[in-house]
Amino acid sequence: MAIVLAIISALAYGLSDFIGGILSRRTSAWSVAVVGCSVAAVSTAMVALFVTGEPTGADFAWASLAGVGSGAGAGFLYRGFAAGRLGVVAPVSAVGAALVPLVVGVASGERPSALAWLGIVAALPGIWLVSREPSSEGGDRRTAAGVIDGLLAGAGFGMLFAALGQIPDTAGLWPLALTQVVSVPAVALMAGLMREPWVPRHRSVLPAAWCGLLSTVATSTFLLATQRGYLTVSGVLASLYPAFTILLAAVFLKEHIHRAQGIGLVLCGLAVGLVAAG
């Protein structure tokens, strides 16, 4: 069940990034993140009303840390997408998002099976390859900027995954609701420090509400996955989200899947099979 939940999380994140990436090229990336995080906060709180639990102060502390990571990850990811650096930002962020919970999980004593480890090993290059785009004009400065956005987004998502992995199933969903609430001022603060516009002012940002609803599904299923299985495995599987983004772009935008991306998709599929068998 944990594997299925983690894959659903990756699918929801992939669809959210697909929509957010398109919107971020039309309006401020930070305003897209603010709308998405705000809707996620409201929708998660509504769901939490119907889920019983007994959260502790420690659970809320981990949730707050996860909120900072969520806001940072979304903001820097969309900023990279807005500048047309998807081919650099996506793979760097996804690998970073996978490695942080992997390291935390191993450090906390998790020991996946040999097959699961083979799946993890296959997933990391698969994530990188599936996110890559053919090299184009732009120069080293653009690539370097994309790497920075990707590293910051990956660190944020990795923090989100690792922190959510510390919340037990007895806590219910109120800690997750706090995560979404904290992500809103986190986005606004970082945008303000960089003097980037973040206040939603145009109707073009309204579809970002779908990103928020999808984020609710993604984070909820990821939390449930970590409560039913290893953080190491759930973190890597959830980080397969670029594969779904690429597939969605191929289906709906008729974007061509290049050879490297095809190899990456095969590795991602192999990774899921190995982890499931393990």
| Selection from 169, 184, 157 nearest residue 223 by Cα | 169
Is the pLDDT at 178 greater than 90, yes or no? Answer: yes
CA–CA dist 55, 63 (Å, integer): 10
Of the candidates 149, 84, 143, 129, the residue with the CA atom closest to the CA atom of residue 263: 129
Compute the average pLDDT of residues 128-142: 59
Name the one residue in this structure whose structure tokens are 């653009």: 142
Encode 18-40: b = buried (16+ Cβ within 10 Å), e = exposed.
bbbbebbeebbbbbbbbbbbbbb
Is residue 4's pLDDT more than 90? yes
Stretch 255-266: mean pLDDT, rounded? 78
What are the Cα distances from residue 182, in Å, to 9, 144, 194, 235, 256? 20, 29, 19, 21, 38
Q: What is the pLDDT of residue 265?
A: 79
Average pLDDT of the chain to the nearest whole number: 85
- The per-residue pLDDT for 133 is 60
Termini Cα distance of the chain: 13
The band of 87, judged by pLDDT with boundaries at 50, 70 and 90, is: low
Domain count, the chain: 1
For residue 166, pLDDT beyond 80 = yes
d(CA 66, CA 100): 13
Structural domain boundaries, residue 118: 2-277
Flag whether the pTM goes above 0.95: no
Q: Residue 51, SS3?
A: coil
Asked if the model's pLDDT at residue 213 lies above 70, the reply is yes
What's the token pair of residue 165?
A: 């992995």
Query: Is the pLDDT at 141 greater than 60, yes or no?
Result: no
The pair of structure tokens assigned to 203 is 């109707």
> Could you tell me which residue, 152 or 201, shows the higher pLDDT?
152
196 dihedral zone (left: phi>0; alpha: psi -120 to 50; beta): beta
